[in-house]
Amino acid sequence: MTIINFVFLLASLVFVITVHEYAHAWMANFLGDPTAKNQGRISLNPLRHLDPMGTLLIFLAGIGWGKPVPVNPFYFKNRKVYEAAVALAGPMMNLIVAVIVLIPLKYFGDSLGIYLETLLFTIFDISILLFAFNMLPFAPLDGSKVVGIIIPDKWQGKYQEFLANSAMYFFVFLLVDHFILTRYFGFSILSFIIGWIVTLTKTVLFLGT
One DSSP character per residue, 75-132 reads G-SSHHHHHHHHHHHHHHHHHHHHHHHHHHHHHHGGGS-HHHHHHHHHHHHHHHHHHH
188 close to 182: Cβ distance less than 8 angstroms: yes
- pLDDT at 62 > cutoff 60: no
Determine the Cα–Cα distance for residues 80 and 85; give it in Å rounded to an integer.
Answer: 9
Q: Is 21 a catalytic residue?
A: yes
Taking the alpha carbons of 195, 198, 201, 203 in that order, is the dihedral positive or negative?
negative
Given 21, 83, 117, 161, the catalytic residue: 21
Confidence of residue 149 (pLDDT cuts 50, 70, 90): confident
Most confident of 56-65, 66-75, 81-90: 81-90
Non-local (6+) Cβ contacts of 158 within 8 A are none
Q: Where are the domains of the chain?
A: 3-208
- pLDDT at 92 > cutoff 90: yes
Q: Between vectors from CA 187 to CA 121 and to CA 163, what angle results, nearest 5°? A: 80
Non-local (6+) Cβ contacts of 163 within 8 A are 139, 144, 148
- Report the pLDDT averaged over residues 133-152: 86
Determine the Cα–Cα distance for residues 14 and 7; give it in Å rounded to an integer.
Answer: 11
- pLDDT at 111 > cutoff 60: yes
Confidence of residue 52 (pLDDT cuts 50, 70, 90): confident
